[in-house]
Amino acid sequence: MKTIKDYLERARKETNTSIYQVSDVELLDFLNRRRNEIVNELITKVNEDFFFEIFTTDLVAGQNEYSLQKCLPDQEGMKKIISLEIKSEDDRPYTLIPKRGMNSLGLSLDELNTMSENQSFFDIKDSSIFLYPAPKESVQNGIRGQAITSVRDLKLTDDEEAIFPGHSDLRDFYELIYIWAKVDCRDLKQDFDKKNLAMNDYELLKKKMLTYLSDRYNAPAEFSAPTLDYYKY
C-alpha cells in the first residue's frame, strides 16, 4: 500500500522538484491545506458526519467498562459513536445493540448484570463505553463499533487510506493527493501554464468524485454513513 510520502515523491519526479527547493514538511503542509478544503466541502455538501472509523476491541468476561482510549487511540478526534456490535462467542456473528442511559433505568449494577443477553445495551460516560450486562465470556475483537471522527492532518508515513478516513470506496480518488502536490510544485517553480493544467485535472477529478457520491447515496442531502454490514470481516 502506498504512503503519503510516495505520492509526494511522485509529484517531485513529475515536476523535477528537489527537496532543496521545497522540503517534505513544507509540501505536506501545502497538501494538508488543500485537503482540508475538500474535506470541508464533503462535510458541507455531502454530510456533516461523512468521516468515520470502524474500531474493534476485546470483550472481557465480567467487565462492564471499556476505555475509549483503547478502542480509539485518536480519541480526541471522535465526535460520537453511532453504532456498536458485540459477539458473545467466537463463532457467533456480531449483534447490534442499542445505546441507553443506564441511570434512566433505575437499576443497580447487580440488576443490570443479571439481565438476559438479548437485553444488552451500551452507554458512554467519562470517556468509556459501558456494556450491560457484563459479558460471560472473553472474545477477541468481540466489540465492534462505528465512530464519527474529525479529520486529522495527514502524516508522511500514513497509508493512503488515511486520505478519506472510513471511505475505502473512494480509492479511485486518492490521485487528488498527487495532483495537489503537483500543483504546489508547479506554483513554487512559477511554471504557471502547467500549474493551470494540473488545477484543471484537480477540478475534473473532484467533480467526478462528487458525482460518484451523489449517485451512490442518491443525493448528497440524504447521505448516511454505510452500516457496519457494509464492512464484512
DSSP 71-85: H-TTGGGEEEEEEEE
Domain limit, last residue, from 99, 129, 149 = 149
Do residues 45 and 58 both lie within one domain?
no
Which residue would you say has higher pLDDT here, 11 or 226?
A: 11
Mean pLDDT value across residues 194-215: 90
The parent domain of residue 175 ranges over 4-49+152-230
In the predicted model, is pLDDT for residue 48 greater than 60?
yes
Domain limit, last residue, from 149, 177, 209 = 149
Q: How many domains does the chain have?
A: 2
Sign, CA dihedral 23-27-29-32, equals negative
Residues 5-43 pLDDT 10s: 999 999 999 999 998 999 999 999 999 998 998 888 888
Do residues 110 and 136 both lie within one domain?
yes
Do residues 157 and 134 both lie within one domain?
no
Tell me the one-letter amino acid at 180: W
Do residues 30 and 67 both lie within one domain?
no
Q: Report the pLDDT value the prediction gives residue 117, as an integer from 0 to 100.
A: 83
Do residues 176 and 103 both lie within one domain?
no
In the predicted model, is pLDDT for residue 229 greater than 50?
no
Range in 55-59, 67-71, 209-213, 228-232 the model is least confident about: 228-232
Q: Report the pLDDT value the prediction gives residue 200, as an integer from 0 to 100.
A: 94
Mean pLDDT value across residues 109-129: 88
Do residues 134 and 57 both lie within one domain?
yes
Annotate 76-100 with b (16+ C-beta within 10 A) or e (fewer): ebbeebbbbbbbeeeeeebeebeee
Q: Report the pLDDT value the prediction gives residue 133, as an integer from 0 to 100.
A: 94
Compute the distance between CA of residue 222 and CA of residue 214 in angstroms, rounded to an integer: 9
Do residues 11 and 43 both lie within one domain?
yes
Do residues 41 and 69 both lie within one domain?
no
Do residues 69 and 110 both lie within one domain?
yes
Confidence band, pLDDT 50/70/90 cuts, at residue 201: very high
Confidence band, pLDDT 50/70/90 cuts, at residue 223: very low
Helix (H, G, I), strand (E, B) or coil at 153: coil
Residues 123-177 pLDDT 10s: 998 888 999 999 999 999 999 998 888 888 999 999 999 999 888 889 999 999 8
* Contact status, residue 52 vs residue 115, Cβ threshold 8 Å: no
Residues 75-100 pLDDT 10s: 556 778 889 999 988 888 999 999 99
Do residues 56 and 144 both lie within one domain?
yes
Q: What is the pTM of this model?
A: 0.70
DSSP 232: -
Domain limit, last residue, from 85, 114, 149 = 149
Do residues 169 and 226 both lie within one domain?
yes
| Residue with grid cell 517534505, as numbered in its chain | 24
Q: Which three three-digit cell numbers place residue 216? A: 451512490
In the predicted model, is pLDDT for residue 222 greater than 90?
no
CA dist 149 → 17, 52, 72, 189 (Å)? 35, 5, 10, 36
In the predicted model, is pLDDT for residue 226 greater than 50?
no
Which residues have C-beta within 8 Å of that of residue 39, sequence separation ≥ 6?
51, 151
Pairing of strands 128-132, 65-67: antiparallel
Mean pLDDT value across residues 203-213: 90
